């Protein structure tokens, strides 16, 4: 009763920020993302009748802080399998954890794929995506590769809050250059931050009301492979989300000085040098530059040259979460 799965993070171009139901973890806004091909999370799940509790190791060390969320997500799969068996979970992140690189997205996507196989459930991708969403909203999107849409839905049971693949990675091969400006764990996690924004930001109603229009326009830009339109929409959605974050009380200011310098540099590369590149920033200080593969080395060099940029990672678009062979250990 063991299996290993791999998933990669995804980067939202139209952002998810806010929940319409915290228990089922239903998003208040739809989102659109690209799944990366690196960095990756690999997770081995083994159900074992001799265990009294779930055991979680993250990068080789026990992680009691994350255990409750992981156990709650596994409970959903255990219910379907009609078992109470506890699991040993060994997960490895090949990138900085909890620094705004969406490790929870790849983490929960890999977890549900491995647990599904270990329990012999054989659930379909949509169901796995829904189960991953219960663990972490953005994880629903990492079940699929390339360009992915996640609707907010309207139904109370969340059956219409489903992620769908929009376009394969190979159909529009883009690259993502990630400028890491801090390796520190963020002080306020996404779930807590979203709830704070919902309760206190005067911009929150405008944010949720405008999300469906942004999502529809971004879907059209993806279908048309219209880079300029996607660039404009993505930067707009990103800055609008950060306006909501920054106008929350107390404020959520995820940026540092280097974050702003990277955004300015990326704008200059596009507007002055004509490079096909745009930025997006999540609930952390890292900056993701989305560009053509041809422009990626120049974008990476420009960002690496900025003071305060500690590391630059490059990725192409990749596939959704998948099972690995036994030989490919985590
Ligand atoms: C996103 N973020 O769309 C947005 C943009 C962060 C900023 O999804 O509470 O870890 O687990 O559902 O998925 C990060 O939030 O939040 C996120 P939960 P999650 O990528």
Looking from the CA of residue 137, the nearest atom of ligand 1 is 12
For ligand 1, atom 18, name the residue with the nearest CA: 136
4 lines ligand 1 (CB under 6 A): no
- As annotated, the residues of the chain forming the CATH 3.30.230.10 domain(s) are 2-169
In angstroms, the CA 3 to CA 42 distance is 11
138 lines ligand 1 (CB under 6 A): yes
| 3-state SS assignment for residue 98 | coil
144 lines ligand 1 (CB under 6 A): no
Q: Are 16 and 140 in contact (CB under 8 A)?
A: no
For ligand 1, atom 7, name the residue with the nearest CA: 282
Taking 90 as the threshold, does the pLDDT of residue 322 lie above it? yes
Percent of the chain with pLDDT over 90: 90
| 3-state SS assignment for residue 258 | helix
Per-residue CA distances from 28 to 49, 68, 157, 163, 235 (Å): 39, 24, 14, 14, 20
In angstroms, the CA 80 to CA 76 distance is 7
Predicted model pTM = 0.95
16 lines ligand 1 (CB under 6 A): yes
Taking 50 as the threshold, does the pLDDT of residue 71 lie above it? yes
- As annotated, the residues of the chain forming the CATH 3.30.70.890 domain(s) are 175-316
Mean pLDDT of 115-125: 98
In angstroms, the CA 146 to CA 178 distance is 17
Taking 50 as the threshold, does the pLDDT of residue 98 lie above it? no
In angstroms, the CA 210 to CA 199 distance is 18
136 lines ligand 1 (CB under 6 A): yes
Looking from the CA of residue 10, the nearest atom of ligand 1 is 20
How far out from the chain centre does Cα 98 lie? Answer: 11
Looking from the CA of residue 11, the nearest atom of ligand 1 is 20
Listed range (3-17, 110-124, 172-186, 282-296) with the worst mean pLDDT: 172-186
Q: Are 166 and 219 in contact (CB under 8 A)?
A: yes
In angstroms, the CA 107 to CA 194 distance is 20
pLDDT at 197: 98
For ligand 1, atom 15, name the residue with the nearest CA: 190
pLDDT at 329: 62
In angstroms, the CA 169 to CA 259 distance is 27
Question: Distance, CA 116 to ligand 1 centroid (Å)?
Answer: 23
12 lines ligand 1 (CB under 6 A): yes
CATH class of 2-169: alpha beta
- The pLDDT tens digits for 157-201 are 999 998 999 999 999 999 999 999 998 877 888 999 999 999 999
Domain 175-316 has CATH 2.40.10.10: no
Taking 60 as the threshold, does the pLDDT of residue 96 lie above it? no
15 lines ligand 1 (CB under 6 A): yes
In angstroms, the CA 193 to CA 198 distance is 9
With a CB cutoff of 8 Å and minimum separation 6, the contacts of 187 are: none
Question: Distance, CA 37 to ligand 1 centroid (Å)?
Answer: 19
Percent of the chain with pLDDT over 70: 97
């Amino acid at each position: 009763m063991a299996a290993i799965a791999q998933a990669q993070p995804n980067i939202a171009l139209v952002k998810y920020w806010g929940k319409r139901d915290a228990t089922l973890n239903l998003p208040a806004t739809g989102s659109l993302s690209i799944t990366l091909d690196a960095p990756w999370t690999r997770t081995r799940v083994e159900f074992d009748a001799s265990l009294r509790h779930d055991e979680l190791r993250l990068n080789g060390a026990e992680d009691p802080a994350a255990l409750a969320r992981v156990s709650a997500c596994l409970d959903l799969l255990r219910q379907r399998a009609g078992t109470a068996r506890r699991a040993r979970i060994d997960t490895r992140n090949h990138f900085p954890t909890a620094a705004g690189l969406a490790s929870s997205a790849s983490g929960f996507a890999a977890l549900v794929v491995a647990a599904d196989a270990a329990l012999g459930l054989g659930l379909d991708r949509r169901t796995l995506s829904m189960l991953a969403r219960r663990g972490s909203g953005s994880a629903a999107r990492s079940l699929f590769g390339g360009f992915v849409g996640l609707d907010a839905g309207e139904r109370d049971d969340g059956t219409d809050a489903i992620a769908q693949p929009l376009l394969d990675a190979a159909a529009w091969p883009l690259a993502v250059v990630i400028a890491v400006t801090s390796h520190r764990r963020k002080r306020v996690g996404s779930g807590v931050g979203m709830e704070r924004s919902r309760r206190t930001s005067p911009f929150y109603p405008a944010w949720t009301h405008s999300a469906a229009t942004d999502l529809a326009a971004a879907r059209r830009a993806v279908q048309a492979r219209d880079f300029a339109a996607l660039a404009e929409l993505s930067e707009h959605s990103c800055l609008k989300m950060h306006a909501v974050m920054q106008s929350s009380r107390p404020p959520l200011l995820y940026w540092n000085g280097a974050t702003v310098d990277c955004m300015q540099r990326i704008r200059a590369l596009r507007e002055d040098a004509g490079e096909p590149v745009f930025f997006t920033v999540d609930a952390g200080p890292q900056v993701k530059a989305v560009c053509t593969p041809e422009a990626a080395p120049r974008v990476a060099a420009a960002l690496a040259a900025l003071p305060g940029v500690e590391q630059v990672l490059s990725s192409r678009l990749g596939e959704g979460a998948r099972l690995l062979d036994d030989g490919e250990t985590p």
